[in-house]
Amino acid sequence: ELFFLFAGHVPCQESSGDDINYKAKSGYVLVINNYIFPGRDDVERTGSNDDVRNLMSLFDDFSFRYKVEHNQSESQMLELLRSTAEKDFSRYDCFVCVILSHGTKDGIYGTDEKVIKIEAITSLFQRNQCPSLEGKPKIFLIQACHGPLSSSSLPVDADFLICVAPGYQSYRQALLGSWFISSVFDVFKEYAEREHLMDMMLRVNNRVAGFYSKEGLKQMPCQVCMLRKKVFFDPKYSSS
């Protein structure tokens, strides 16, 4: 499986005399968690629900509004993404989309084993399709695909961040989740108060690179960065 992280253009918001920094104090999150695949021998993607719980906890800290949908077919995923892209995001500082599923080098599987291309997803949120997100971070965490990210999958809009990490079922564990998502959770929980997105992703790289599967396999995320701003979050941690 591969994980892709896309983050869109970050405009000059409030800053302390340096418009290279952007703070996302509010955000809207869509999570698609495909963990039951009835046509497969291994029906359940174990650990995926643990990823969702971790992500919900993280986005609670960021005071982001989120919507979680489970076990979507290809057509259901497309309809959900289209209807989300039609929303008015004027009140939000950023948009986050998380898709947890199986995939191929061509894209992401719905639970009906039909594939959606990465470009078909990201194109829905480009400025001509979703004008209320123009100039705002658009972050896509996609844990799904095998094989390298092709150039045709890259968004045509500028100011994207793409994070890719090859992975297989052995990189997910019950009660822990995937190495990648659990590392995002741990690193962002610890460092989001003081570090920007790219610095935290370097820490995620370092953490994931330290894991080994039972078969002795490793995983190494990498990023292609087209961002022009440093994206900071504004976590409000609970006392519990």
Which residues form the catalytic set? 102, 145
Measured CA to CA, the distance from residue 173 to residue 117 in angstroms comes to 27
> Would you tell me how many other CB atoms lie within 10 Å of the CB of residue 194?
9
Are the C-beta atoms of residues 52 and 31 closer than 8 Å to each other? yes
- For the packed helices 179-191 and 48-61, what is the interaxial angle rounded to 10 degrees? 20
> Would you tell me how many other CB atoms lie within 10 Å of the CB of residue 67?
11
Exposure letters 174-191 (e unless 16+ CB within 10 A, then b): eeebbbbbbbbbebbeeb
